Structure 1
Amino acid sequence: MSIRPTIETRKAVPTMEGAGVHLHRAFGFQDPSELDPFLLFDDFRNEVPEHYMRGFPWHPHRGIETITYVLNGTVEHGDSLGNTGTLGAGDVQWMTAGSGILHQEMPKGNAKGQMHGFQLWGNLPSAQKMTAPRYQDVQAKDIPEVIDDDGTVVRVIVGEFWGKTGPVDGIAADPQYLDISIPPGVKKTFRIDTYRRAFAYVFAGQGAFVDASAPSGVLLEKEVMGQEVNIRDMSGDRTLVRFGTGDEVTVQAGEEGVRFLLISGAPIEEPVAWHGPIVMNTQAELQQAMRDLRNGTFIKPAH
């Protein structure tokens, strides 16, 4: 087995989307090959309703899949196909935009006004760019949860892990999407298929992705529950960790434990022509999508 090296850690960047939703973007609208097949990852977390209530009004998507995972509050959604619904805490929606869809997402806080969720964009290969749109809405109760003897908890949203299979299926990137909580001081190793691109997103506590290449600079030592780790290796809230190639990832939880998403998928390795919420393979396809939007033919009839 080979440990995947950490090739980069970086903080998510504050930005605004939709009608003024304040969020943090871990990656997106830069180099689409960096985390192929994934294009964008947003952390929409807020305790100020004015910063999220106006939501994401009607907008188009084509050529991608969007994965929305809600931790706190709710997200009401509707689309051009007549679908409507509400995602609650712990729920997941996987939307395959395919040939084109218009939809809106309107977040609402919990009783304390808190809202927290994530959205990941996955690319579609050329052969599936114009497939029929579809939704997979999954309730929290239907997402399998595995608890290990050391207290580690893994929610298996997509893919197979520790004998459990996530409820979302038929996704182009053949992804694995895990929500992992590790107790204080516990060191844990997770297998990842070698052919996948992989990243982690830390959103609570701190953890060191150990036995990997250390960042440059002077390393300060600290003991965590009797185990020596490098402070400079510790990744905290809203940190993206990109991995190189290998078979597994090893995490050393800090004094408060750590919670993170571990996401991997098979790279598509095709050209990307990208404008806002539309991702195609060529500029000609992108221009056709824009013409379709202008002349009212963006939504394709069902066959």
Structure 2
Amino acid sequence: MSIRTLRQLIPARQVSDGAGVKIKRSLGLSQQLRLDPFLMLDCFGSDEASDYIAGFPPHPHRGFETVTYMLHGHMLHEDHMGNKGHLKSGGVQWMTAGRGIIHSEMPQQESGLMQGFQLWLNLPAAEKMKAAAYVDIAPEHIPQAALAGGGQVKVIAGRFQTDELTLEGAIRGLSTDPQFYDLHLLAGQQVTLQLPAAHNALLYVYEGSAELPAGQQPASAGVHHAAVLSQGDTVHIKALADTKAILLAGKPIGEPVAQYGPFVMNTPAEIEQAIRDYQAGQLTGDQPMQAIQI
């Protein structure tokens, strides 16, 4: 058994995106703050409508996947093919931009709390130009279970495994083998789980604080910090208070990354082509858009 230790702690920084939505960004603050295959991690959360009401008007993507996990609130996704998807509290949208998509994500509430995450997950070169598709996952279709000693886990993607529990997630079988868990732990609770040893992994705390192994002495990860973990096959987490955190892990792609805003390819020439395609109205081609409801 090889225990993963804390390698780097990235404090999230408040930035503005879309039409002025206030978010906290950890991964993606710079090109150096990526974790292959993860490009960006945003946490949004406010009960002030002015922080989110302008939303994300129509914008393009090419070459990667977006995962939106809505903890609280209601967003409407619309795309260039006329598809609509309602993302409500507890739900997930897993979108593959592939060759190209133009979409919007707009709040469907004028007050109250809106909270959640958006993750950008890279695609290998062989998949960057495939047809766009997305899956809407209703809250009741996200597997969840109680943990030994209290608390619970929701498994959005991959396989969650401890000595006492194995739980398959809603999304499986992708080339980067992403693992995406939402952990709710009680103060003082400890959990030890298995991960594929070669995957890159991080823990993002969005409520409370967590203790992680870190060499001679354990170290803590506070709220809105992304804790990047070393390689290993086992993760050990201790909640220092009632704690909520997402754990992400994925198989590294190991390819060059060229990014310009909403386009993520392998070379600058491919980025230039994406810009030309978008300007010419050919970003998405004639591809059909596949929409699946789970």
Asked if Structure 1 and Structure 2 have the same fold, meaning a TM-score greater than 0.5 normalized by the shorter chain, the answer is: yes
- How far has the Cα of 1:253 moved from its partner? 1.0
Does residue 250 of structure 2 align to residue 251 of structure 1? no
Partner of 2:210: 207
Supply the AA of the counterpart residue of 1:178: Y
- How far has the Cα of 1:29 moved from its partner? 5.0
Confirm or deny: 8 A CA contact 2:28 2:34 kept in the other structure: no
- How far has the Cα of 1:30 moved from its partner? 2.1
1: CA distance, partners of 2:47 / 2:192: 34
Cα deviation, 1:9-49, whole Å, max 9, x if unaligned, reads 12100000000001100110523684000000000111110
- Give runs of aligned pairs for residues 126-141 of structure 1, distance below 5 A: 126-141=125-140
Partner of 2:184: 181
Partner of 2:282: 297
Deviates more, 1:262-271 or 1:292-301: 292-301
Supply the AA of the counterpart residue of 2:175: A
Deviates more, 1:182-191 or 1:15-24: 182-191
Unaligned runs of 5+ in 1: 216-229
Partner of 2:114: 115
- How far has the Cα of 1:301 moved from its partner? 1.0
Supply the AA of the counterpart residue of 2:215: S
Name the SS for the 1:27 alignment partner: coil
Partner of 1:226: none
Supply the AA of the counterpart residue of 1:104: S
Supply the AA of the counterpart residue of 1:27: L
Cα deviation, 1:117-144, whole Å, max 9, x if unaligned, reads 1000000100000000000100000011
Confirm or deny: 8 A CA contact 2:27 2:33 kept in the other structure: no
Percent identity over paired residues: 41
Does residue 247 of structure 2 align to residue 262 of structure 1? yes
Name the SS for the 1:171 alignment partner: coil
Cα deviation, 1:242-271, whole Å, max 9, x if unaligned, reads 0111111111111x3211000100000001
- How far has the Cα of 1:51 moved from its partner? 1.2
Tell me the TM-score normalised to structure 2 length.
Answer: 0.92
- Give runs of aligned pairs for residues 1-303 of structure 1, distance below 5 A: 1-31=1-31, 34-109=34-109, 113-161=112-160, 162-210=165-213, 212-213=214-215, 233-254=219-240, 256-302=241-287
- How far has the Cα of 1:163 moved from its partner? 2.4
Supply the AA of the counterpart residue of 1:285: E
- How many pairs align? 284
- How far has the Cα of 1:152 moved from its partner? 2.9
Confirm or deny: 8 A CA contact 1:69 1:93 kept in the other structure: yes
Confirm or deny: 8 A CA contact 1:74 1:109 kept in the other structure: yes
2: CA distance, partners of 1:264 / 1:18: 27
Supply the AA of the counterpart residue of 1:252: K
Confirm or deny: 8 A CA contact 1:33 1:269 kept in the other structure: no
Where does structure 1 differ by over 6 angstroms across 4 or more consecutive aligned residues? none
Cα deviation, 1:42-85, whole Å, max 9, x if unaligned, reads 00111110111000000000000000000011111100021102
Unaligned runs of 5+ in 2: 289-294
- How far has the Cα of 1:188 moved from its partner? 1.5
Supply the AA of the counterpart residue of 1:299: T
1: CA distance, partners of 2:261 / 2:71: 26
Supply the AA of the counterpart residue of 2:286: P
Larger Cα Rg: Structure 1 or Structure 2?
Answer: 1
2: CA distance, partners of 1:214 / 1:80: 53
Partner of 2:291: none
Supply the AA of the counterpart residue of 2:14: P
The structure-2 alpha-carbon separation of the partners of 1:29 and 1:11, relative to structure 1 and needing over 3 Å to count, comes to closer
1: CA distance, partners of 2:87 / 2:95: 13
Confirm or deny: 8 A CA contact 2:34 2:40 kept in the other structure: no
- How far has the Cα of 1:109 moved from its partner? 4.7
Partner of 1:221: none
1: CA distance, partners of 2:117 / 2:183: 14
The structure-2 alpha-carbon separation of the partners of 1:114 and 1:214, relative to structure 1 and needing over 3 Å to count, comes to farther
**RMSD value, Cα:** 1.6
